[in-house]
A and B are shown apart, each in its own frame.
Chain A
Amino acid sequence: QSVLTQPPSASGTPGQRVTISCSGSSSNIGSNYVYWYQQLPGTAPKLLIYRNNQRPSGVPDRFSGSKSGTSASLAISGLRSEDEADYYCAAWDDSLSGHVFGTGTKVTVL
């Protein structure tokens, strides 16, 4: 049911940089803001990035978002063990007149 496509997994060693992609279409990412959510095991999702590249107060600047055309990316620099979580992109979809979430990416810290 997800209309935004993410890689199922990504991994890195502590200190490395990990990038997660999110592919959409002209009706969602191509024409609206992208959001990123972090979901730690057994907890509710947490807003990580809003309006493509803005961080809410309290989110470390190790997390950064970008958007180009119908794709978006989340980068985690200086990877830490506590970053091990599932990450979801999201956007409003004009064709569906609703929010859509990505398929999710599990980040593992090796």
Chain B
Amino acid sequence: QITLKESGPTLVKPTQTLTLTCTFSGFSLSTSGVGVGWIRQPPGKALEWLALIYWDDDKRYSPSLKSRLTITKDTSKNQVVLTMTNMDPVDTATYYCAHVHDYGDFGFDYWGQGTLVTVSS
């Protein structure tokens, strides 16, 4: 079955760079149409899509955060990494990674449990 799990620091300081890793199983990021996305949710607030990387290394970013985000994949390790630069307290949120297939036509059908990242000095 498909599983995803996020990992990374729980606390980062303002201006630092956040690096999150999504480790998955049950699918391959070399399969046509498959992708992994990142979505975050500040405490008590709505979901916000951040980035998505497809099997062919096509990358999409949220326009409002594009300058701060980088998404990469390591197909051999079954991992997707998201980096976000210049972290600010407003970036405090639970960060989720999620699976898509058929280029997302079927939605984010599998999600990780999420990891809470707090930005504070």
Binding site for B on A (CB under 8 A): 1-2, 33, 35, 37, 39, 44-47, 50-51, 56, 88, 90, 92, 96-104
Contact = CB atoms under 8 A, between A and B. Distances in A.
Given A88-B47, A98-B49, A104-B46, A47 B64 contact: no
Given A98-B49, A101-B48, A103-B46, A50 B109 contact: yes
Q: Tell me the interface secondary structure of chain A in the complex.
A: strand
B52 A99 contact: yes
B46 A101 contact: yes
A98 B111 contact: no
Contact of A101 (B49, B63, B112): B49
Contact of A47 (B61, B107, B113): B107
Contacts of B64: 1
Contacts of B63: 96-98
B16 to A, nearest CB: 22
B46 A45 contact: no
Contact of A102 (B46, B96, B105, B109): B46
Nearest to A48: B107
11 contacts: A1-B64, A35-B107, A39-B47, A45-B39, A47-B109, A50-B106, A90-B47, A92-B104, A96-B62, A97-B63, A99-B52
Contacts of B46: 1-2, 88, 101-104
Contacts of B60: 97-98
